[in-house]
Amino acid sequence: MSTSTLDLLVIFSHPPLTGLRGREGLDVALVSSTFDQNTALLFMGEGVLQLLPDQQPDCLQLKGTQAMLKALPLYDLDQVYVEEAALLRYGLSADKLLLPVQPLNNVELQQLLQRSRHLLSH
């Protein structure tokens, strides 16, 4: 995990396909990155489920976030973190998620939060 100060940490803690929260959070992260802000994403709790491949938002007449997530590297958004405890809770493996992530334990999560100037929870 990098130790540089973050301008913005966008936190995703809600499950996928339950409204616009995920898309709005990703929109903010993409705009922030466009303006050269040091931005990172953190998926916690049910939010880690947003990183699962093969979601079918069309069944619910919703737009998914998978295309936006896959575009993160194009915006130099490569600091994507997940709560290690959430991965364990849901029986997930970091290497099976939609994009490369860095799992963080509780101590590392606290360090990430402390080095972030602004937090935005979605």
Q: Where are the domains of the chain?
A: 8-121
Tell me the C-alpha distance between 121 and 14, whole Å.
9
Residue 110 bridge partners (DSSP): none
Q: Which two tokens stand for residue 33?
A: 């990155």
The tens digit of pLDDT for each residue in 50-108 reads: 898 876 545 545 565 777 888 899 989 999 999 999 999 999 999 999 999 999 999 99
Q: How far, in Å, CA of 33 to CA of 107, rounded?
A: 26
Mean pLDDT across the chain: 88
For residues 9 and 109, the answer to whether their CB atoms sit within 8 Å is no
The rounded distance, in Å, linking the Cα atoms of 32 and 77 is: 10
Tokens of residue 39, six digits: 């931005």
Q: Which fold is adopted by the domain 8-121?
A: Hypothetical Protein Ychn; Chain: A, (3.40.1260)
Beta strand residue intervals within 20-87, DSSP E: 39-43, 80-83
pTM for the predicted model, two decimal places? 0.89
pLDDT score recorded for residue 38: 95
Share of the chain above pLDDT 90, in %: 62
3 state DSSP class of 41: strand
